[in-house]
Structure 1
């Protein structure tokens, strides 16, 4: 099953009466309250709001990155509260090129929830009706089971990989930040030594993903002999890296993994090397 769903496909499913949980994931790193405000003003009817900071991130310690993953136990509690039961079809969307929707997609997939799709093109692709009445989540009647994150890479493995070179790190940030220029989000500029750079926006034509054929060719050319299972994705805080993960899956490359702590965790320890 492709991880993407078109606006027309979504509208057909909604009109059929099939049980779908729409998750509005709009967010702005520079203005964390604007996503929820936009949702309250207008959204796809029936959608709930899922907040990057409050729902899709855990407790920050100052050393574990700007958007650390919640523990598997905390994430299971959040899924229960949001009404994401094991068989629920979840469709995530945003208005930022599917960046935040991709984070929800990965977190669900990584904890065993296969029935999740991202609305291709996000809210910009939606031509159906819009609602203005926020919907409160309907919690699951039974607690969702705790599952560890499959495909999660911890900082110790990334550090060890500097010597073993078993994997190739792909950084999803913009070219200038990758090279330590114009860094405004983290206190240190640069990248993990040996990492490659694939800006997440290169996965898109405007706001929609490129075709599977286009993405397959681009990632084939980019990776060369590197296998998908040898790829570790990262970015600034483990969000846009999920976009590259999703794009690779659209292209048919499965098995790559996520270093969720990403650059904001890596650079929090001055003992870790930095490359410009």
Structure 2
């Protein structure tokens, strides 16, 4: 299944007899929760998902800022969203999919086969003339059964060795990769051997994902081609999921995700940090 759905196709699906479940994952690094923005306007039928509390766990600093949630707690959250086994799911945000991709990745990892990201997010929906509704949304609880393990992951030890036998991509902004700035993590720089591949460079000027052929060309320039071992990380495992999405949209094999990402790596003094290009 292609991991994206356009605003026009989503509108048609929502008007059908079997509409997908809609999850709104509005979140900004360092910003307030998106619940208030959700209540001010969201796609009709959507349910708000809190990234910090429902799409992430909480542990030691060496686990990272957004470690994967506990499997049972994630299943409980998905049931609160009204999900049942066999449901088709569409996730969206207002930042071109860079936070909604976390929900996409987690649901895929937990065994949900039909889950897509709204290409261009809420902005694309509004631009296409899509209606919005206001207020809270509390669905009837669902009974979905979830189990992690459907997508590949790596840990810090594997990330340390990865550049020797594959391609390790860093999805953060270039200035954070180079160590010029670091707004949240204790050390600036990147995992030695990684390559800078900012996830925003997979988007066009309207916030839509680039066409598959252009995405494939972009990743080929990093050595991320069919047959190559590829893994990706970011600051805390959120925007890296968007790079996983982009690679799948390009028709490439699904890369491994390092969930702890640089927030976990930089909190471990035994791990070296590189700077510069």
- Please, what TM-score do these two structures have when normalized by structure 2? 0.93
After superposition, residues 1-276 of structure 1 pair within 5 angstroms as 1-33=1-33, 35-126=34-125, 127-140=129-142, 142=143, 144-148=145-149, 150-161=151-162, 165-206=164-205, 207-223=207-223, 227=226, 230-276=229-275
Report how far residue 65 of structure 1 moved.
Answer: 0.6
Against the structure 1 CA distance between its residues 245 and 61, is the aligned structure 2 distance closer, same or farther, given a 3 Å change threshold?
Answer: same
1:151-205 Cα distance to aligned partner (Å, 9 max, x none):
121122223446xx22321000111100111111111101000000100010000
Against the structure 1 CA distance between its residues 60 and 160, is the aligned structure 2 distance closer, same or farther, given a 3 Å change threshold?
Answer: same
Report how far residue 143 of structure 1 moved.
Answer: 5.2
Q: Structure 2 stretches of 5 or more lacking a match?
A: none
Contact 1:170–1:196 under 8 Å retained in 2: yes
The number of residue pairs the alignment matches comes to 271
Report how far residue 232 of structure 1 moved.
Answer: 0.8
Contact 1:47–1:134 under 8 Å retained in 2: no
Report how far residue 32 of structure 1 moved.
Answer: 2.7
Report how far residue 269 of structure 1 moved.
Answer: 0.7
Matches of 2:30 and 2:58, distance apart in 1: 19
Against the structure 1 CA distance between its residues 128 and 161, is the aligned structure 2 distance closer, same or farther, given a 3 Å change threshold?
Answer: closer
Matches of 1:238 and 1:154, distance apart in 2: 12
Matches of 2:267 and 2:30, distance apart in 1: 20
Report how far residue 72 of structure 1 moved.
Answer: 2.1
- Partner secondary structure for residue 272 of structure 1: coil
Contact 1:72–1:148 under 8 Å retained in 2: no
Report how far residue 85 of structure 1 moved.
Answer: 2.0
CA RMSD of aligned residues (A): 1.6
Matches of 2:70 and 2:149, distance apart in 1: 8
1:59-79 Cα distance to aligned partner (Å, 9 max, x none):
132221111111222222222
- Partner secondary structure for residue 90 of structure 2: strand
Matches of 1:145 and 1:121, distance apart in 2: 28
Report how far residue 102 of structure 1 moved.
Answer: 0.7
- Partner secondary structure for residue 54 of structure 1: helix
Q: Structure 1 stretches of 5 or more lacking a match?
A: none
Contact 2:110–2:146 under 8 Å retained in 1: no
Moved over 6 A (4+): none
Matches of 2:272 and 2:148, distance apart in 1: 33
Against the structure 1 CA distance between its residues 180 and 211, is the aligned structure 2 distance closer, same or farther, given a 3 Å change threshold?
Answer: same
1:227-260 Cα distance to aligned partner (Å, 9 max, x none):
4651111000001101111001000001311001
- Partner secondary structure for residue 13 of structure 2: helix
